[in-house]
Amino acid sequence: MGSVVRLPTGKALTVQAAVDRYLDSLPNPNTARSYSIGVSKTAEAVGPGRPLDSVTDDEVGEILERLWGSGAVNTWNARRASIQSWLNWCREKGYSGPTVPAWAKRLTPPDSDTPARSKAAIDRLIARRDIHLREKTLWRMLYETAARSDEILALNIEDLDFAGRRCQVKAKGAKAKTRRRGETRDDFVLETVYWDAGTARLLPRLLKDRTRGPVFTTHRKPGPGKVVSPRDLCPDTGLARLSYGQARALLDEATATDGVGSGWDPHEFRHSSLTYLGEQGASLLMLMAKSRHKKPENVRKYFKPSGDAIAELTSMLAPGDAQR
């Protein structure tokens, strides 16, 4: 005899219907694609045809544990966040259903393993005669702004404030501005990053007479079969914007010590910048303002003082008559 399945009534939904409606409600296709991994696998494990309000909190937690409990911390947190977002959306829409149980907690991410390079090492790299001016400018700008690589690579000349040595960037996770009645707009909330003398000396040499288009461009025009957005194409030279993959390959080639892939990563400039500022005595609040992090624990992952800095700090604990 087959099992009896209670049909959904009123505002009740099947698990699969709830998943489909939730994913359809997400405006960003990249977010929908990412979140669909967690919620779809959870729906499959629960039973897509079950009424959502028949699923218990503990079932959700046990499925999370079974599917991703032995995985990386960041994977666990990402999948948990997608399921939490899905179930929160269901409650907001008036659908009865479970929640992620309290015992299935978000885990503290491990410290980043991205190394911090010394200021002297970065200065030596940028001073090398075999390094092209474009790379020198990019690396110096990444170091002085402590910005993310994609933020700087996305800059256009029109975005730069040369006199103020600053510019506004579309930050990671930036949300579109909203009008009073809730309609979304095309523009995004921007954040300001600052550079100093090193970048200020290099930028005019790089740009020469260009006054518009991408700051960092390729050396060759894109092929006839490649479609490039108008914003990513210099209207004067026809050169395309330098991509993150190209920038990473150039840095790896210049710093590799043991073949392809053994060199530096562009993200190391951000780590190195914040570490140096911290070693020079910058407060946590100032580091957060420079990095534009919202949480102190996220800044801590970037701050990696050297052994010499720790030794210098330790010397402050020596007896008053100790001789250095």
Residues catalogued as catalytic: 148, 177, 267, 270, 293, 302
Instruction: Answer whether 268's CB lies under 8 Å from 117's CB.
Output: yes
**CB-CB neighbours of 223 under 10 Å:** 7
Q: HEC string of 271-289? A: HHHHHHHHHCCCCHHHHHH
Q: What number of residues does the chain have? A: 324
8 Å CB contact between 159 and 213: no
61: Cβ contacts below 8 Å, ≥ 6 apart: 100, 101, 103, 104
Helix axes 73-92, 15-25, angle to 10 degrees: 100
What is the Cα gyration radius of the chain? Answer: 25
Kindly report the CA angle at 82 between 79 and 88, in degrees rounded to 5? 140
Using an 8 Å Cβ cutoff, are 15 and 47 in contact? yes
Sign of the Cα torsion 289, 290, 291, 297 reads negative
Residue 180 DSSP code: T
- Cα–Cα distances (Å) from 32 to 37, 92, 175, 290, in that order, read 9, 18, 16, 31
| Single-letter amino acid code for the residue at 10 | G
Element (H, E) at 161: strand 160-161
Token digits for 220? 């060759």
The Cβ of residue 215 has, within 10 Å, a number of other Cβ atoms equal to 25
